[in-house]
Structure 1
Amino acid sequence: MLGFKFFNAAAVVFVYSVCSVTAKYDQQSCCEVANITRFFPEPMPQGAVCGQQYNASIPPAPDLRVSWEFCNSHCHGIGLSRASLPGQWAAPIVQFILPAVIFSMSIPRRKKFEAKFRVYDWGSKKRCQWFFGPLRWSFSVLVSLWVLVPLTVDTVLWIVIITVGAAHMIVAGLHEVILDHKLLAYLEEMDTPKTTERTKLLVTVISGNLIQDSSEPQIKIPDRLMSARKEERKAGLLAMMTTQSDFGSAIGAPVLFYLGAFVYTILDLLNNPSNQDAAISLAFGVDDSYETYKPVSMWNRGKNKMDWIKNIQNDASFRSGSKFEKNVKVGWKGWVLIFWMTFILIALPPVAGAVVAWQTPPVGPGCRSLSFILYAASQLALTFISILRSACYSSKMPRRSCAQAWDWPSFLLSILFFFISLLALVGGTLMQIVGVLRNCFCYINAQYWLDLKSSPGISVASDTQGQRASSHSWIIMGGVATAFMAVTCYLAWWYHGIVRKRFIHEVSKT
């Protein structure tokens, strides 16, 4: 019986999301129909009105409710976003999704779509000598339009990958950060200046994100530096450091876009406390002279740098084996630190979004808040998988044994939780923008989904006391999200500067 009820609830969601395309849910129209058919109890509450707009000089509207049966029979369908109400669809796109595109450009990636230069040859005399100049350029513009399609698809796919793979990327990034800190700390504690060892360790710090393939960067870069004179070696190490992206240009500009979007949305809520579209937009906002070598993907940053360190340990010329191994080893305390830092970065934004959605009438668990909770839970599972896999590869266990023990299980589990994350966040965001989540079913709290008739009803009034009161939690969570992003970026900028300064100091001792 319980299984049948679960199937019934899932079927209702499917019907509202896919079917009833011609039907349209409209809160004000539903309220007016209920009033005309005298569904509301007589006498009507004093001041009851359908579609009241917020005005500080008038009292909030009484809460008017209809039953599930009435809503399903008279107001079924979905409330598609209206072009005339940009707050429903344009706000989350312009304020939060577009800045995400800018962020995605700064996250390292190995493969991306790049237009061939032949596309632009249509605008040159070499390709179209017989065309008149302006006509040739116009034709070139039209021919080049097709490039926008794969470029757009490539960017969208990369944003989706970043979204569903956030846990893996953060764990790998934090693992690399801890290894860099340990390497620099070991260099600072070295008693005697061992030029060869110091150079190899500094190269590992700055170039440990390069793939160890047939080009052998782990061998060629140190050898080339060691064959140079002292001043040239220092200049080479500093030049390699300058090839790293500057924190301000890579992260600072996108952060300003995000912070501006949060501040604007909070101000909008202060002016109109009962604006649920602004609240939901805020919720979805709360929750990238040497040979050319290939950088490793963000997924494997920590593991790849650990491989560089193991190569140094296996080098016969390296004489600080046991002490070095002890100093750079990431123990259980380090993995616990990585977990908690990842947990904060992964869980806090969707939890804040879930609180906003939870406090939006009807207050309680619903379609929107559960999508955030589901995303946070799936990312938490991916965090455990990533940490266990990285810890195995960082241990003394042979690489083949780790691959046999973890590669397939971690791959299959990751695919499962990637899919859940994709449905929860990407699917939830798209459904919010389109308006699929505006329907009778999603306006009922989750605890009543197995027995919809037992629900206390669906509110069809606007600008109620509950909506005005809930705006306080919306503004608080918006402020928390803004402060969290600002503090996180400030700490990252501060640590980035400290590491660069420590690196420069160690180069001067080489």
Structure 2
Amino acid sequence: MHYSMMYLLYNLLWLSIQCLHLANGQLGIRNSSTDLVPIYQPYLSNLRENPATFNPALGGQDWGMCCNLVVNESLVIENDTLYIRPGQTFFTGTINDLEEFPRFPCGAKYNGTLSAPHQQFWMPYSWCYNHCPGWPVTKANDLGKWLKPLIAFILPSLIFCLNVPRRRRLDLPTSLFSGGSIDISSIPLFIIKVPLASSIVTLDIIIWTCVVFSVASPMITSGIYEALLDARVLSYLESRSKENSLSAKEKAHTLLSILIGNLDIQAWHSSSLFVHNIPGGVFRRRPGAQPTKTNIESRIEVPRPLDTITPIHSLDASTSNTPTKITTIGRSKQSSYSVQQRRSIITTKWRLLAMLDSQISFGTSVGAPVLFYIASFIWSVYEVREELGSYVTAHQLAAGMFWMTIPHVALVSCLLLAGNNPNIWQNAVAESLLISDPFTPIDSLRLVDTDLESDPGGVRNLHSVEFTSKDPRAIRYTRSITSRLVNRFFGLAYKESRFKPAWMWNRGSNKAMWIAKLGDEYPYLRGMREEVLDRNFKKDLWTSGFYGFTLYFVPTFFSVLVSYTTPRPGFGCRSLLVFAYGLSQLILQLLWLLRWYFSKGDTAGNPNNTWYTVVKSASIYLWYLMFLFAIFIGAFTSIGGTIFVLTNVLTNCFCAVPAQYWRDRWKNPEALIFVDDSTWEQLYYAEKWWFPAGVVGVVFMTIVAYIGWWYQRSLRQRYCDLVSKIDHVNDIEFEDEVSDTDVDHIREEATETIRNT
């Protein structure tokens, strides 16, 4: 009994000491403040239990009021004193922290210094979902959230899309512009026609912008590959400018193919007519070799009527029905062309240079708009610096870098030598087309050579992705139906032209067709085809893929970086949308490269093997499924993601939680959403990541624009130099003279051959 009493007294004494220590510790902790009442009182009075102004699922949520409710769950004002609510879990700081930064946490602004409170007001996802469901739609009077990004990034991108070549556009009814002069009676009808025509044009631009944004990577890669092909062809011609291995006709036709290589291969017939007056003979022998009959034949021009000219003729013709002058064989310092041949060569030079200069310059088409785009981008970067920690500014910067992909597509499309307008070529060759077939009406489509179009074998062995005739029947049938539907609503972009330009994503393969066709037509250009297409095929293909990847990866990466580091750090709705877009473009680019790469070995294997046929068909089906899926993801994340950002759909409880907590967001205590603004964390990430990312974006686009301008100027200068050397022939000396009898004999044989043909 005595022992029990002693033990009880000991425990009471120990509890008394602990309570005394606890009371002494509580004396130094303040739980209230009177100085903060004037700051918090206006926001915490008259709070609505339901923060939504209308249906929150339709955008009626008031996110600012939700923040006020979170603060109200943490603090309370009683008797002109601000208290921290007992047992609350929303506020993680103290009254001293609040007094150190006397401001209301919701909607706080950057005060010009990096001194700011930490993230202290948090709400669990479950509380947010129950009290603040839905999303707050962007208000019309809140211009900073929708009008500024629309003017700074989206509208300039629409203008850039107009420079990207395309084959079809939305038909604009001619009836909207029919009629005579405008009088009083026609004003009501005119008032109706103007907005209707404007709406159709606007819809057409929006649709094309969606297409460019969705398939940007194949467009960029194809354009870069075409630029590499142009450079290699020019290098090949330059390497042979000091030797007599190519004739004037071969040089002219090659240079012409560079300018019109964006047209369908069906335009080959017209290109042959363009150069048919140019002599094709040249001495083809190595120094020190003896002249032979073949050497002499290559220099002899024999007349042929114009109506017998076809793309497969190997002999050249003159417009004159009288025999042309036989080139003098022997010691000569320059080739002896007739007056008519000299005129044809000079005319061809003028036309080639005129076609080149008829194209809009790089600076006019895309250089100047890029400067304005960069200026708006610089302003956004400046705002990031002046408004550190602002969510709105960060998201606008990320959206601007995201939309930077479209200017890169325009930059690539405008640095190419081939013009986008086929009417320039039609104007240059119209007379030759009519002379070759004088009975063809002026409005007849027979001006276009349709033989190749109807003959799939006409484009075989061209290392192109356009091997659609070998696709399974179901895919060809589906593609045919889709094409008919598209053709019903979308007409040709150049209705008055008899020639059709390739889509931007087919520009590289189309230019490869022309180069391959040159090698088939001219035996001495087969070396060019082997060097440009065969030997450097893999290198140029994957080089264009690498540079294309860089042009869309850099803006996508920094856009993801800005969204990722917008506190809380981690992947969220915005960063995942941009990341998914970049992934879709990578898939599209790989599919584009792989099909083109394997098309070169398409004939490999045994076509009669059943397993080979099954595997090939399955791979083609898989290719199309992945291609369509990647296009869908690209369209949804680019266009849909932009709409989500502008309308503010992504401001909701689910998107405010990092993706790593989405799966167990209802129970995980870490699935928290902070609501205070302009905190130390936000200022830190803004200074460390947001501003540098914006600077890198400006510098990168400036460098790309400069490289594109320099590259095109370089190609143009090299092209002009080669045009001036079309008829250039080096000095050739022969040890033996050829007799006149041999010349007459050769001429008689050639004339007899033509008669028999």
- For the superposition of Structure 1 and Structure 2, which TM-score range results when normalised by the shorter chain? 0.7 to 0.9
Residue of 258, 264, 268 corresponding to 2:373: 258
Instruction: Give the Cα–Cα distance (whole angstroms) in 2 for the partners of residues 82 and 323 of structure 1.
Output: 61
- 2:390 corresponds to 1:275: yes
Residue of 126, 132, 136 corresponding to 1:69: 126
Q: Please say if residues 27 and 460 of structure 1, whose CA atoms lie closer than 8 Å, have aligned partners that are also in contact.
A: no
Task: Report the secondary structure of 2:677's partner residue.
Answer: coil
User: What does 1:343-358 correspond to in 2, within 5 Å?
Assistant: 343-358=549-564
Instruction: Give the Cα–Cα distance (whole angstroms) in 1 for the partners of residues 566 and 178 of structure 2.
Output: 55
Instruction: Give the Cα–Cα distance (whole angstroms) in 2 for the partners of residues 369 and 353 of structure 1.
Output: 8
- 2:211 corresponds to 1:175: no
- 2:668 corresponds to 1:446: no
Shift of 1:425: 1.8
Instruction: Give the Cα–Cα distance (whole angstroms) in 1 for the partners of residues 114 and 691 of structure 2.
Output: 22
Identity %: 27
Aligned to 1:247: 362
**Which moved further from structure 2: 229-238 or 37-46?**
37-46
- 2:568 corresponds to 1:362: yes
Q: Please say if residues 197 and 318 of structure 1, whose CA atoms lie closer than 8 Å, have aligned partners that are also in contact.
A: no
Residue of 249, 254, 260 corresponding to 1:207: 260
Instruction: Give the Cα–Cα distance (whole angstroms) in 1 for the partners of residues 128 and 628 of structure 2.
Output: 38
Aligned to 2:406: none
Q: Deviations over 1:442-479 (max 9, x none)?
A: 11111111111323410110111111112121111111
User: What does 1:131-150 correspond to in 2, within 5 Å?
Assistant: 133-137=183-187, 139-150=189-200
Q: Please say if residues 560 and 575 of structure 2, whose CA atoms lie closer than 8 Å, have aligned partners that are also in contact.
A: yes
Amino acid at match of 2:255: L
Shift of 1:49: 2.5
Unpaired stretches in structure 1, ≥5 consecutive residues = 1-18
Task: Go from structure 1 to structure 2 and tell me whether the alpha carbon gap of 1:257 and 1:187 turns closer, same or farther (over 3 Å shift).
Answer: same
Shift of 1:327: 4.2
Task: Go from structure 1 to structure 2 and tell me whether the alpha carbon gap of 1:224 and 1:110 turns closer, same or farther (over 3 Å shift).
Answer: farther
Shift of 1:276: 1.2
Residue of 189, 197, 213 corresponding to 2:250: 197
Task: Report the secondary structure of 2:569's partner residue.
Answer: coil
Aligned to 1:461: 676
Q: Please say if residues 346 and 380 of structure 1, whose CA atoms lie closer than 8 Å, have aligned partners that are also in contact.
A: no
Q: Please say if residues 279 and 356 of structure 1, whose CA atoms lie closer than 8 Å, have aligned partners that are also in contact.
A: yes
User: What does 1:43-82 correspond to in 2, within 5 Å?
Assistant: 43-44=94-95, 45-46=97-98, 47=101, 49-51=104-106, 52-56=108-112, 59-63=115-119, 64-82=121-139
Q: Deviations over 1:28-70 (max 9, x none)?
A: 3222212323343485542462322222269424421111111
Shift of 1:87: 2.0
- Report how many aligned residue pairs link the two structures: 481
Q: Deviations over 1:315-366 (max 9, x none)?
A: 1x43242464134433322222112101101211111100010111111111
Task: Go from structure 1 to structure 2 and tell me whether the alpha carbon gap of 1:362 and 1:385 turns closer, same or farther (over 3 Å shift).
Answer: same
Q: Deviations over 1:177-204 (max 9, x none)?
A: 1111111011011121511211111111
Q: Please say if residues 516 and 529 of structure 2, whose CA atoms lie closer than 8 Å, have aligned partners that are also in contact.
A: no
Larger Rg: 2
Task: Go from structure 1 to structure 2 and tell me whether the alpha carbon gap of 1:20 and 1:504 turns closer, same or farther (over 3 Å shift).
Answer: same
Aligned to 1:303: 509
Aligned to 1:318: 523
Instruction: Give the Cα–Cα distance (whole angstroms) in 2 for the partners of residues 79 and 109 of structure 1.
Output: 39
User: What does 1:385-400 correspond to in 2, within 5 Å?
Assistant: 385-393=591-599, 397=603
Q: Please say if residues 95 and 257 of structure 1, whose CA atoms lie closer than 8 Å, have aligned partners that are also in contact.
A: no
Shift of 1:490: 0.5
Task: Report the secondary structure of 1:53's partner residue.
Answer: coil
Aligned to 2:69: 33
- 2:678 corresponds to 1:471: no
- 2:165 corresponds to 1:92: no
Unpaired stretches in structure 2, ≥5 consecutive residues = 1-54, 75-87, 280-317, 319-342, 403-409, 411-426, 431-496, 608-612, 727-757
Shift of 1:136: 2.9
Task: Go from structure 1 to structure 2 and tell me whether the alpha carbon gap of 1:168 and 1:58 turns closer, same or farther (over 3 Å shift).
Answer: closer
Aligned to 2:752: none
Task: Go from structure 1 to structure 2 and tell me whether the alpha carbon gap of 1:436 and 1:305 turns closer, same or farther (over 3 Å shift).
Answer: same
**Which moved further from structure 2: 183-192 or 289-298?**
289-298
Task: Report the secondary structure of 2:178's partner residue.
Answer: helix
Aligned to 2:649: 436
Task: Go from structure 1 to structure 2 and tell me whether the alpha carbon gap of 1:230 and 1:214 turns closer, same or farther (over 3 Å shift).
Answer: closer
Q: Which has the higher helix share?
A: 1
Q: TM-score, normalised by structure 2?
A: 0.60
Q: TM-score, normalised by structure 1?
A: 0.88
Task: Go from structure 1 to structure 2 and tell me whether the alpha carbon gap of 1:221 and 1:448 turns closer, same or farther (over 3 Å shift).
Answer: farther
Instruction: Give the Cα–Cα distance (whole angstroms) in 2 for the partners of residues 140 and 164 of structure 1.
Output: 36
Shift of 1:25: 4.1
Q: Please say if residues 80 and 435 of structure 1, whose CA atoms lie closer than 8 Å, have aligned partners that are also in contact.
A: yes
Amino acid at match of 1:508: S
Q: Please say if residues 25 and 439 of structure 1, whose CA atoms lie closer than 8 Å, have aligned partners that are also in contact.
A: no
Q: Which has the bigger relative contact order, CA under 8 A and spacing at least 6?
A: 1
Aligned to 1:152: 202
**Which moved further from structure 2: 264-273 or 498-507?**
264-273
Task: Go from structure 1 to structure 2 and tell me whether the alpha carbon gap of 1:269 and 1:216 turns closer, same or farther (over 3 Å shift).
Answer: same
Q: Please say if residues 212 and 218 of structure 1, whose CA atoms lie closer than 8 Å, have aligned partners that are also in contact.
A: no
Q: Please say if residues 24 and 76 of structure 1, whose CA atoms lie closer than 8 Å, have aligned partners that are also in contact.
A: no
Instruction: Give the Cα–Cα distance (whole angstroms) in 2 for the partners of residues 357 and 262 of structure 1.
Output: 17
